[in-house]
Amino acid sequence: MSSPDRVLPMMVDEQINADYDRAHRRAFLRSVMSHVLRQPNALIPYRDVRDRITMERESYRGMQTVPVSQIIGSVDRFRDFDRAFFPKQRHTASRWKSIDLAFHRDIRLSPIELYKVGEIYFVKDGNHRVSVAREHGIDFIDAEVIEGHMRVPLRSSMSPTQILHQLEYAEFLRRTNLDKTRPNHDIRPTNLGRHEELVGHIEVHRALLAERTGTDVALDDAAADWFDTIYLPVVAAAREQRLLRAFPERTEADVYLWVMANRGRIEQEFGSGGVSDPSQLTEAYRSIEGRRNRLRRLLMRGYRQLRQASA
């Protein structure tokens, strides 16, 4: 008969293996569901944050108790775990099980290290500890926190795309100060990368102002003048004509960017006045983009008919 001292380690070892297998299985099932429901299930790489924004400032928050559900990103292990930190890769097993063993033996581990941006957290050190905590239903975890400050909120309920949009918008505000000089603005392109394009427009306007006045112009001053004299007239015309009722998937910023990108085509179809007259600019958008949308709908209808015929 085996002694109790030998049976207990075997029982713990079996429990650890069962814990990991269950967590790995959860990661697989969540992956399947994310594909079926077309919902994001990946951790957010911290580099996607740093590539899109320069923090207003950073501050050391010290030791804190952090909600595990708000930890949705990682610095360097974002491929190893899913959005809920369940382990996707088998090579995580050894380290994961060693953390789980410490959990079962009630061994106190060192706090994890996190970056905080808005209301969400990214793991700098301690990915496996977060994963084991999620598997065991632990709601809070001790962490050493460094916080990066920005001008717009980030929440763990946001999708990765929504978070990236917020980051680009925050960087746009940091550079232009439009949230302070024109607090009622709402410049939200639907596609990623377009805020940088808007900054390019403001830089061109800044150069023209400097040439006109013979003095250097601060970027935030140029942004305010661009908003008043270039952006707002186009948007005001779009509002007056209720343009976005016909294009509900678009925003006012999309209309402005489209107008600026199609100036040559607008002049060709509507004459040179079409560029200077905001009402004609928006009418051009309605005409040209409306034809494009009708063509897209016809193509989709034809595609569905072909699929039905071949079924």
pLDDT in tens, 177-209: 999 999 999 999 999 999 999 999 999 999 999
Q: Which helix (H) or strand (E) holds 158?
A: none
Helix H segments across 139-231? 160-176, 178-181, 194-213, 219-226
Rounded Cα distance, 151 and 184, in Å:
15
Q: Would the pLDDT of 5 be above 90?
A: no
Higher pLDDT, 241 or 68: 68
Q: First-to-last CA distance in the chain?
A: 66
Q: Would the pLDDT of 237 be above 60?
A: yes
Q: Would the pLDDT of 223 be above 50?
A: yes
Q: Would the pLDDT of 8 be above 60?
A: no
Q: Where on the phi/psi map is residue 98: left (φ > 0), alpha (ψ -120 to 50), or beta?
A: alpha
Residue 9 confidence class, pLDDT cut points 50, 70, 90: low
Q: Would the pLDDT of 273 be above 90?
A: no
pLDDT, average across residues 51-65? 94
User: What is the third-level CATH fold of 4-149?
Assistant: 3.90.1530
Q: Would the pLDDT of 259 be above 50?
A: yes
pLDDT, average across residues 48-60? 93
Residue 96: both structure tokens together: 């994961």
Q: Where on the phi/psi map is residue 106: left (φ > 0), alpha (ψ -120 to 50), or beta?
A: left
Residue 298 confidence class, pLDDT cut points 50, 70, 90: very low
DSSP state of 108: P
Q: Would the pLDDT of 173 be above 60?
A: yes
Residue 230: both structure tokens together: 């270039």
Name the residue among 159, 176, 180 with its Cα closest to residue 37: 159
**302 contacts: CB under 8 Å, gap ≥ 6:** none
Rounded Cα distance, 138 and 72, in Å:
15
The label of the residue with tokens 């996190």 reads: 114
Q: Which pLDDT score, from 0 to 100, does residue 3 have?
A: 35
Q: Are 81 and 88 in contact (CB under 8 A)?
A: yes
Query: Beta strands of 15-119 (E only): which ranges?
Result: 44-45, 57-67, 71-74, 112-117
Q: Would the pLDDT of 301 be above 90?
A: no
Comparing 61-70, 99-108, 264-273, the range with the smallest average pLDDT is 264-273
Residue 258: both structure tokens together: 């489209």
Rounded Cα distance, 178 and 227, in Å:
9
Q: Are 65 and 142 in contact (CB under 8 A)?
A: yes
**122 contacts: CB under 8 Å, gap ≥ 6:** 44, 46, 49, 71, 72, 73, 74, 75, 114, 115, 116
Rounded Cα distance, 196 and 136, in Å:
43
Beta bridge partners of 122: 73, 115
pLDDT, average across residues 127-140? 96
User: What does the domain layout of the chain look like in residue ranges?
Assistant: 4-149, 177-299
Strands 71-74 and 120-125: parallel
pTM reported for the whole predicted model: 0.78
Query: Beta strands of the chain (E only): which ranges?
Result: 44-45, 57-67, 71-74, 112-117, 120-125, 140-149
Name the residue among 211, 205, 208 with its Cα closest to residue 228: 205
Q: Which pLDDT score, from 0 to 100, does residue 217 have?
A: 95
